[in-house]
Amino acid sequence: MEEIRGSAVSAEAQSICANPQGTAFAGLGTIAQQPYFKAVRRRDLMAAVNTLARDLGLRASGVMVLDALLSCLPCKEPKTGAELPITPLTLLTVYAANETLCFRAKGITERQLRRHLERFEEIGLLARRDSANGKRFPVQRGGKTIGAFGLDLSPLLARSEELLTRAESKRRERDELKGLKACIHKLRARCLALDLDEAAVTFVEGLRNSLRRVGLTRLEATQMLDDLTALLSRHEAPASRQSACVPDQSQRTTETAEQTGTDGQNDRHKEPENSDPKKITAPTVAEVWTDLGTLSMFYPEAPRTAHALRTLLHDFAAMLRIGTETLADALQSHGIIPTLRSLDQLAAKAHEIDRPDGYLRAMLQGTSGKRVGHGQLC
């Protein structure tokens, strides 16, 4: 299908240009010579270039020059002035003068402009269509522009789909890195509160500068997270994870007294054991907390109030890049305990998951027919 569409576009372009290239127009940039590519809006293409500027070896001023070149393409509806997408039938050879390009690029000098244009050629974003005297100008026939000598953006548009895909992947990686950094800061603060040896303290404090590096990768952040997790597992007291589940001593004493006081009384006064199976069998948050290995590592003590639980859930979900709406849907349809278990499983392999929001929905859909009791807070 793509080949058929490409052939159709090429045939239409050939008819538009009507053999414009003779000996007098050698090197002329025409629509017929342009590659086939999917229609793309300038704004989307520039957003992708801006995201990938560092990977492409472009500076901020280089991105501005590329934006200035794209702004010269005829991509506006003549009557309304509405922005139109760039298509293979758009003449991609820019013939604007250097003065115009410098003005649109926020006032850079012509020397800077030439340097950027050379850079675009080196990295495969631009090709030159030079006239005999080096001037840029359009060539018209029958009152219609059929080609131009100037700066051809065909190489950039030929790579537009690749750039858009790479930019989207880059944005997802940045979001994941942001979540990993939040986890690292949390674990780092907990490590500094422990009685560590000098080498461990130096390592933990050094992570602060590492997290500020512009070139920090997801792989490096994942390794930091693993190192901090291992450090905590070696030094943190095991009892701290169980403290939330140990009942209050006064409560235990009261329960014992009540049991002693009812010894010998008639059993018919007791509440039937299975009067409400759901209430009796539903686990409490405190009871399952130690089973939530990753969640309890960030929050050693189980929340004691409903407000504290809500705050914890929203904070942990935000750390994992899970939307408030998704979390609310999970709590409403599956209850507290299943949602906590799902968040804990997701957090254990967060560095492997590109879209945690969708991943959580998929996990919960897998248990949609097996609804468990909502659970109790305490």
Model confidence pLDDT, tens digit, residues 176-190: 888 888 888 888 888
- What does the pLDDT look like over 266-289, one tens digit per residue? 444 444 444 444 343 456 888 888
What is the reported pLDDT for 351?
Answer: 65
Higher-pLDDT residue of 98, 338: 98
Higher-pLDDT residue of 354, 138: 138
Are the beta carbons of 339 and 313 closer than 8 angstroms? yes
3-state secondary structure the chain: CHHHHHHHHHHHHHHHHCCCCCHHHCCCEEHHHCCCCCCECHHHHHHHHHHCHHHHCCCHHHHHHHHHHHHCCCCECCCCCCECCECCCCCCEECCCHHHHHHHCCCCCHHHHHHHHHHHHHCCCCEEECCCCCCCEEEEECCEEEEEEEEECHHHHHCHHHHHHHHHHHHHHHHHHHHHHHHHHHHHHHHHCCCCCHHHHHHHHHHHHHHHCCCCCHHHHHHHHHHHHHHHHHHCCCHHHHHHHCCCHHHHHHHHHHHHHCCCCCHHHCCCCCCCHHHHHCCEHHHHHHHCHHHHHHCCCCCCCHHHHHHHHHHHHHHCCCCHHHHHHHHHHHCHHHHHHHHHHHHHCHHHCCCHHHHHHHHHHCCCCCCCCCCECC
- What does the pLDDT look like over 233-248, one tens digit per residue? 887 655 344 443 344 4
Average pLDDT over residues 23-36: 79
The model carries a pTM of 0.56
Residue 244 identity (one-letter amino acid)? A
Higher-pLDDT residue of 20, 232: 232
Contacts for 198 with CB less than 8 Å, ≥ 6 apart: none
Quick check: 353 pLDDT over 50?
A: yes
Nearest to 217 by CA among 347, 48, 54: 54
Quick check: 55 pLDDT over 80?
A: yes
Higher-pLDDT residue of 337, 254: 337
CA distances from 284 to 170, 225, 240, 287 (A): 41, 30, 19, 5
CA–chain centroid gap for 200, Å, is 32
Percent of the chain scoring above 90 in pLDDT: 29
